[in-house]
Amino acid sequence: MELENILNEMNHKGYKTTEKRRNILQVLINHQSSFLSADTILCQAKKINTHINMSTVYRNLLLLEELHLVHKILSEDGIANYKLVQVHTHHHHIICRSCGKTDIIDYCPIKELNTLVEEKHFKLTEHKLELYGYCENCIKNKNN
């Protein structure tokens, strides 16, 4: 999605277009295929616009998540990582352990799982599936 489209969508819902919000979104667009930490997003945003505060970053990420414009996942060490939602249909991710690059996995094992879950007498509500590995580039460059 384009920057202006996102901002327009937000405007329609009563949220304003500000310089800082634009900067944060620009960072997310520039790294559309990676999950970034709030800290990384702040650093990148500072390259665009020197004065921007961490609380502004968090507040915007929270809002974007609520609007389903951003995906949030937790890394093993409990740090939140964010990326722009590209596909609005249900999907999962494969994430590179070396560079953080992600790709979309269109398969979901929910059908196979449903039967097993029923056997256990659970009623399934959600599931979390994340794949980790090394991407083509990182394998080539042996950056791991």
Binding residues for a second copy, per CB under 8 A?
74, 76, 78, 80, 94, 96-97, 103, 105-107, 109, 112-113, 116-117, 120-136, 139
Q: Please tell me whether residue 93 binds DNA under the rule CB under 7 A.
A: no
Q: Which of 28, 41, 35 is nearest to 1 (CA)?
A: 28
Residue 20 contact, options a second copy, DNA, none, Cβ 5-8 Å cut-off depending on partner type: DNA
Q: How many residues bind DNA (CB under 7 A)?
A: 27
Q: Which stretch binds DNA (CB under 7 A): 8-16, 28-36, 111-119, 129-137?
A: 8-16
Q: Please tell me whether residue 12 binds DNA under the rule CB under 7 A.
A: no
Separation between Cα atoms, residue 30 and residue 3, nearest integer Å: 10
Exposure of 37 in the CB half-sphere (CA atoms within 13 A): 10
Closest CB 25 distance from DNA, rounded Å: 10
Q: Which of 32, 12, 8 is nearest to 21 (CA)?
A: 8
Separation between Cα atoms, residue 40 and residue 46, nearest integer Å: 10
Q: Indicate the residue among 12 and 120 with the shorter CB distance to a second copy.
A: 120
Closest CB 73 distance from a second copy, rounded Å: 9
Report how far Cα 37 is from the mean position of its chain's Cα atoms: 9
Tell me phi and psi for residue 70, to 5 degrees. -135, 140
Three-class SS of residue 102?
A: strand
Q: Which residues bind DNA (CB under 7 A)?
A: 10-11, 14-21, 37-39, 51-56, 58-60, 62-63, 78-80
